[in-house]
Every structure is written in structure tokens, then in C-alpha cells.
A = this chain, B = another copy of it.
């Protein structure tokens, strides 16, 4: 059974650890959001690609969620002493090698192939058996349009909004800059077309999955395979399990419920997995033509992730 997955960062990484306990890892292709990527200190950082890779490799810091186990932050500490403008973003000393390697590959490869090539190299170094591919080799930036206290428009890249400003500035709108002119990375459309099941991971719809769908060709390809698409709700009990989807969904015109998260994928979903807490929402989701499974969706362990993956895969 060939599986394709659309993925953000930590939530996706946790879930995919369950998927590879149910299906052969080689049969999984993960298409990862790169709208959160940006340069820090001249290094190209791809937080979602790294989260997925580290979780699949089992080298992640499970408690913190992001980054590598046994990490230290000595370089970042020094950069703070330098007053470096990007030093609010903590890059670990082990993780730093990933960014140096990626930036080096990006400078060496022809434009439009670099991120895929770097991602393959990083996967290989960590022994990741699923195929991990960026949604695109072109640069796409998720921009959060916010408002300053004195009412001015204030555009922030996703990391500045979330990590530097703690998602506190009021959100006006969300844009995916560069998406219109982008093309899917090699292998992305083929993975969706060739999959028996396409999973939408329990990631932030607005910040993680919409950027993928904004790359021309991906939404259309997914639509054509709608009967094979299963998603897992990232919203449980009216709040995101982790992250700031509750700040972004209203600005994008969605309520913060498991049903509204399903509505984000209108026309794309065949089935949707929601948490026990949201059981009462099942009828209204099913009324939109989407089959619903109810399960405990808290991914507190690999065993829990495996159970949820099994529920999702059994839905078709």
C-alpha cells in the first residue's frame, strides 16, 4: 500500500512515527510544508522538513518537540552576545550542521533543485527510509499580516510571528508569497497520483497544509484523488493540540473546531479522524459528505500514534 502524506512539523512527525509502524517505511512519501522556511544568520532553515526528518529518524527531542535529542545551544548563546539580529531563534549546535549542510547544498545545486537535494542528503545522513520531499524547490513564504498596537499593517514572516512575537500580534490575513509562481518539487505530484491513501497529517491547516495546497498543481491533483484522502484533525476540544492555529483559523475565515478544520479541506477529503471529545461534531462533518472516525487522537507515544494511523488507514 503506497501512502502519501501532506505534513507540517511536529504534529506530522509524531503521527508519521505511527504510520511507519503500520506500513512499510519505503512505501511512504511525505510532502512537507516549506512556507515557514527562512534564513537565520545566512543559513537556510527549514523547520518542518527537519521536524519530520528528526521524528522519522527517532533522533528528535520528544519533550521539546522540535530539534534533536541531547541538543545544546552554545553557538546561539554566543550569537546573542554578538547582538546578532536573528539570535531570538534558537539554533542548536547539532542542528546547526543540518543548516550548514543545507545552505551549502543550496549554494552548490542549480536553483530549483537545491532544497530537494539537500533534503535527500539530510534524510540519508539520518537513515530515514520514507521519501521526504519539500512541497517545492521554489521559495514560498507564509506571511502573517498583523496589526501594530497603533493600527498599522505589520507583515511578519511565520517564524517572526510565532517564535519571536509569540503569536500575539492580532492577525489580519495570511498570504503565501511566491506560491503562484512556484512548481511542485520533483516527485510531489507523482506521490499523490500513485498513492493508495493520501493522509493529511494533524498539522495546522493554515500555516502548514494551505501553503502546500497553494503550490499550483497540488490541490488539483489531490482533488482528483479525493476518494483516497483521509485527514486527522489537529483541533481537539476547540483548540489546537499545539501551536497557534486558533490565531490563524479565524483570520482565514474558519472557526476553531474539528469540524471547521475539516471544512478547510472542503472538496478534498474522503474521511476525517476526530477526537473522542469532539464526537458530537461527527454528524455535521458527515453531512458534508465526509466519513468520520472517532478515536483518542492524543499522540502521547509511538503506540498512540500507531493506533491513530491504523484508524486513519482503515477508514478507506
Chain A residues within 8 Å of B, Cβ to Cβ = 41-43, 72, 74-79, 81-84, 93-94, 96-98, 100-101, 103-104, 107, 121-122, 125
Contacts and interface: CB of A to CB of B under 8 A. Distances in A.
A126 to B, nearest CB: 9
Given A72-B74, A75-B75, A82 B97 contact: yes
B84 A41 contact: no
B107 A93 contact: no
Contacts of A77: 97
A93 B81 contact: no
Nearest to A107: B42
Contacts of A125: 81-83
Contact of A82 (B76, B78, B82, B121): B121
Nearest to A78: B97
Given A74-B93, A96-B96, 5 more contacts: A42-B103, A76-B97, A79-B97, A82-B122, A84-B97
A79 B122 CA distance: 11
Number of identical protomers: 2
A93 B75 contact: yes
Contact of A41 (B76, B81, B104): B104
19 contacts: A41-B100, A41-B101, A41-B104, A42-B42, A42-B100, A42-B107, A74-B74, A75-B75, A75-B94, A75-B97, A75-B100, A76-B97, A79-B97, A81-B125, A82-B97, A82-B122, A84-B101, A93-B93, A93-B96
Nearest to A44: B42
A295 to B, nearest CB: 38
Contacts of A42: 42-43, 100, 103-104, 107
Contacts of A41: 100-101, 103-104
A33 B82 CA distance: 23
Contacts of A84: 97, 100-101, 104
Contacts of A79: 97, 100-101
B97 A81 contact: yes
B101 A82 contact: yes
A5 to B, nearest CB: 25
Contact of A72 (B72, B103, B121): B72
A108 to B, nearest CB: 9
Contacts of A98: 78, 82
B93 A72 contact: yes
A200 B180 CA distance: 60
A309 to B, nearest CB: 29
Nearest to A79: B97
A117 to B, nearest CB: 13
Nearest to A68: B78
Q: Which 3 A-B pairs have the closest CB atoms?
A: A78-B97, A74-B93, A41-B100
Contacts of A93: 72, 74-75, 93, 96
A96 to B, nearest CB: 4
Contacts of A72: 72, 74, 93
A128 to B, nearest CB: 14
